[in-house]
Amino acid sequence: MPCVDTRLLKLEQAFNPAPLIQVHDKLFSQHRIELWLKRDDLLHPVISGNKWRKLKYILNHALQSGCNELLSMGGAYSNHLHALAYAGYQLGLSTQAYIRGEEPQSHNATLNDLSQWGMQLHFISRSAYKNLRNYKNWQDLPGIQRHQYWIPEGGSTSLAMAGVAELAQELPADVHYLCVPCGTGITLAGIIKHIDNKANVIGFAACKNADTIISDLQTWLTPAHHYWHLNLDYHLGGFAKITPELIAFMQQIEQQTGIPLEPIYTGKMLYGIYDLVRRNYFPAGSKIVAIHTGGLQGNRGFQR
């Protein structure tokens, strides 16, 4: 593990341990299974969940490389940019972001937060945005200067895996199934790579056509990692597409458990888990741990 910069250690003092809590439901007792949630959404009041896990060692590398400006990309509701802008602000680093699509007439709550934390926003066309996805390493961005550090979409780099490893080490050993919501798949890959038990890891794809990330997963993993698969059945129409059933499901779970959810990642994963339980996918006696990856700030973009 790399040595951690003191500025980052200071920032980490504001973090809380992420508890593991059991979700009680008649459905689970009927099927004799247990569902537990790893509450990574409680890690920090602002930088919640997997975006911190992924950024930690990227930020460390930027600091140790002597960079004082961070550049990245994301959508107008991006959890990644939200975490990055706040972390940059706290660490005394400048931040800039390329945002997908035209500048909206009035900025949403996420964009307002980004500006408030000093992030410079550049709105770019969808095609220019897509082109930025070609730059995967920190010095790849054309025209990048020596004091600048490029972070690809979602903070999904190999350094991100080192932070996810810390999450993996916090998970209990006696688990049969580990469920992880999945965008780029880096969080899933990090979990698969770093858990030290033989749990089956199931990624729940948040996007349509997510089979393309299976080849990415294979480049990050080795054939020795074979206790995993990517479930493609619960994107509910595509990335950030919301159905009335999903909203009703989330409201019911939120009322029943008091745990806040968001509809893009953790909401869809739990919708999938409940459906799989009803279909007897998990054998009786199974202990399932699902990761609540956070991202609740994005809820401000949805009318419910």
Ligand X SMILES: *Cc1c(COP(=O)(O)O)cnc(C)c1O
Q: Restricting to residues 179-198, which ones interact with ligand X according to CB under 6 A? A: 181-188
Is residue 110 involved in binding ligand X (CB under 6 A)?
Answer: no
Q: Restricting to residues 40-79, which ones interact with ligand X according to CB under 6 A? A: 49-51, 79
Question: Shortest approach of ligand X to residue 195 CB, angstroms?
Answer: 15
Question: Shortest approach of ligand X to residue 228 CB, angstroms?
Answer: 13
Is residue 240 involved in binding ligand X (CB under 6 A)?
Answer: no
What 3-state DSSP class applies to 4?
A: coil
Which one of 265, 271, 274, 282 is in contact with ligand X (CB under 6 A)? 265
Q: How far apart are CA 164 and CA 156, in angstroms?
A: 11
Question: Shortest approach of ligand X to residue 99 CB, angstroms?
Answer: 16
- Range list of H helices, 144-208: 158-169, 186-194
The question of whether 48 is a catalytic residue gets the answer no
For residue 17, the tally of other CB atoms under 10 A from its CB is: 9
Question: Shortest approach of ligand X to residue 247 CB, angstroms?
Answer: 17
* Residue 50 or 231 with smaller CB distance to ligand X: 50
Question: Which residues are bridge partners to 96 per DSSP?
Answer: 71, 120
Type of residue found at 59: L
Which one of 74, 152, 154, 267 is in contact with ligand X (CB under 6 A)? 154
Exposed, middle or buried: residue 166 (CB in 10 Å: 0-12, 13-18, 19+)? middle
Over the window 268 to 287, marking each residue x when it contacts ligand X by CB under 6 A and - when it does not, the resulting string is: --------------------
Q: How far apart are CA 171 and CA 195, in angstroms?
A: 8
- Please identify which of the residues 48, 78, 156, 286 carries the catalytic annotation: 78
Type of residue found at 166: E
Q: By beta-carbon distance, which residue lies closest to ligand X?
A: 295
Q: Return the C-alpha torsion angle 283, 191, 85, 21, nearest 10.
A: 40
Q: How far apart are CA 238 and CA 206, in angstroms?
A: 7
* Residue 156 or 286 with smaller CB distance to ligand X: 156
Q: Which residues are catalytic?
A: 78
Residues that bind ligand X (CB under 6 A): 49-51, 79, 154, 156, 181-188, 265, 293-295
